[in-house]
Structure 1
Amino acid sequence: MTTQNKIPNFWGGCELKSSLTLEALAEILSREIFSGAKFGGKEKSIHEEIPAVFIESSFLGMLVVLEGYSDNWFVLSIKPYGKFNRFLSVNEVETERVDLDMYLYYLLKQSLLNYSEILVIEPKNQE
């Protein structure tokens, strides 16, 4: 399979700083970025020791997760998930990782301009 025939495999993450709670930040992101799709699942502890919420329905075959760390630091991540991701894996479909870090950074930065309590952190150089 040539490079141009590989299936794109989208991954991305962006760090945020905020004094908001995990749930309050998730509510803003839901409204401003994800057309009202609700975050939930905190009680499911998807990351053992890291508080996290996620959009419970797969979005374009991807899982959207917001993790909350100490010092008012959060990470919004998007990664392959669900039936389509299992299909790619089981059938050994050749994929090519497409990094969405900078896309998420600019999307969040622009979408959250009116929220002075949220600082969007630019990803480090990825070269």
Structure 2
Amino acid sequence: MSEASQEAPRAPRRGPAPRPPAGPPGSAAGADVFVNMRTDFRAQLRRCQRLLAPGARPEIRLHGLGLAVTRAINLALQLQAAAPGALRLHASTSTVALPGPGAGPGALARARHNSAIHIRVCRHGPRP
């Protein structure tokens, strides 16, 4: 037998990374942050802080899908702890249909479902 036939078969290459789902209608461009497990947590936290800085956006939306649900919650709580009394959180959960294996025509017929969280982080002034 040759050496080539003794090698273990390689796993198929992964395709391109999935794109985040389209934002809700009426959302401002750049105000949606899609939390994932690949990007460093501190980098995601700095990005959210920069978006919420005074003079920037009054609110952002954090979206976490699957394993990133807990990270999105942690991110929102860290933002709130860093600015006591200045931020409000509004959370909602959903189930998202994802295309199944072999995504092609009719892929939603074999869709799998995943949990998602959407957290609106709003800046507000101190109460009188």
TM-score by length of 2: 0.29
More strand by share: 1
Over alpha carbons, which structure has the higher Rg? 2
TM-score normalized with structure 1 length = 0.29
Higher relative contact order (CA 8 A, sep 6+): 1
